[in-house]
Structures are given as C-alpha cells and as structure tokens.
Amino acid sequence: MVKVLIADDQELIRESLKIILDSKPDIEVTDAVSDGLEVIRSVREKRPDIILLDIRMPRLDGVSCTKIIKEGYPDIKIIILTTFDDDEYVFNALKYGASGYLLKGISMDSLVEAINTVYQGQAMINPDIASKVLKFFSKLAVNNETIHVPVENIKMITKNEWTIIKEVSKGKSNKEIAKDLSFSEGTVRNYLSNILDKLELRDRTQLAIWAISRGEL
C-alpha cells in the first residue's frame, strides 16, 4: 500500500482526491489537510510515503513545507500540485527535493500513475514545463548554486553512466531515456540508482543541477 497525504486549501479538491484515491486498492489516504502547518503535523504523526502538496496554502506554503519535510524526512516523496504557472514557487520546491510537479487539471488515471512512478523513486514533471525546468537548472548553475561531489566519487562513473547523466541533464524522463538509448526503463532506473549512490546525491534534481554546473556535458 502506498500511503498518501493530501494537502490542499480547497475543500472540494481535497475531498474529491480523497474519495478517488481511497477507492484504489493499492493506495491508502492517511490524511487530507488544508494548510502547511497541518501538513507538518500529519507527517510527524502518520508518516506518509507520498504527499500531494498544493503549492499555495495558508500559514506555510508548499515550498516551505517541502524544505522542512525533506530535511527531516528525506524518504518521503512530494508531488507539487498547482493550477498556477508559478515558476519560482515550483522550481524552488524542486530544488528543495520535490519529486514532481503536476497541474491540477491532470486526469485521475495520470495522477495515480504519477503517484506510483514517484513511489518507485522516479521524478514526474509535467511535460509542459520540462524545458522551463532545464532552464532553471542552468540558472542555478550560473549563479553557483552548485552541488559538491568529491573527485574520487566522480572517477567511479562509467561511460554508460555518463550517458545517462547527460540525458538527465536535458530534463528527460526515464521513459524518454530508455527509448533514446534502446534500454529498458528498469535498466535506466538501475543506472540512475547506481549513479546517485556513487555521487552521494539525493535525487535526479540534484544530479541535473550538478551535471549542468560542470559545463562538460
């Protein structure tokens, strides 16, 4: 069972998501809350696997929640939900460790797919903003908001792993990478897991920022 916490200040959206997700046999909704402070409380009490997190909420917004949660509970995955084109909010949430960003207009089937994808350790970015995410990573690199990786760790990366890193730095999903390189998605996931372990990085967002900051790909 994937344990999901729903956080949205609009009651209709919050309750609709709860009803739909509770009907799925492999998903358990642990809570449905309306503001950022309730998110933190619920995380401490119920330890969900995934949080569906509205970017704009009272008392504590989605960016601040993401930062606090990922610092205290790095294994919890966060999917940002929004109706806005709030680039700065969304990108900062990704920088602090959110695993995905989806528009609230997404179909329920796609949302369930996103939950399962993120639960398996992958990122889920709305295709409409993939290019914006890449530009944001580039901006972070230019501003020296870089990730430090020891030289000895970098030397452990194989030729195939460098190829995967290059594709991740372009903002591509595992599915796209698998198609382009004629790998299975499982192979790409394994490569990515090994890369993150070797470089001691948290997730593909950190990996992309680090790769772009090197300026060699």
In sequence order, the 6+-apart residues with CB closer than 8 A to the CB of 212 are 137, 138, 140, 141, 169
What local confidence, expressed as pLDDT, does residue 18 receive? 95
Among all chains, which residue has been given the structure tokens 């760790």? 153
Percent of the chain whose predicted confidence (pLDDT) is above 90? 46
pLDDT at res. 202: 79
pLDDT in tens, 79-88: 988 876 666 6
List, in sequence order, every residue forming a beta bridge with 153; answer none if it has no partner: none
> For residue 50, what are the β-bridge partners?
4, 77
Residue-level pLDDT at 154: 93
> What band does 204 get if pLDDT is binned at 50, 70 and 90?
confident
Number of domains in the chain: 2
* Separation of alpha carbons 165 and 67, rounded Å: 25
CATH code of the domain covering residue 183: 1.10.10.10
Residue 138 lies in a domain: no
pLDDT of residue 184: 93
Q: Quick check: is 135 in a domain?
A: no
Pair 117, 160 in one domain: no
pTM across the whole model: 0.67
For 61-75, how does the pLDDT look when each residue is reduced to its tens digit (9 = 90+)?
888 999 899 989 989
The amino acid at residue 104 is: K
CB 61 within 8 A of CB 84: no
128-159 pLDDT, tens digit per residue, is 555 566 666 656 555 545 567 889 999 999 99
Domain that includes residue 200, residue range? 151-214
Residue 73 domain flag: yes
Same domain, 155 and 120: no
What local confidence, expressed as pLDDT, does residue 103 receive? 81
pLDDT higher than 60, residue 169? yes
Shared domain for 10 and 85, answered yes or no, is yes
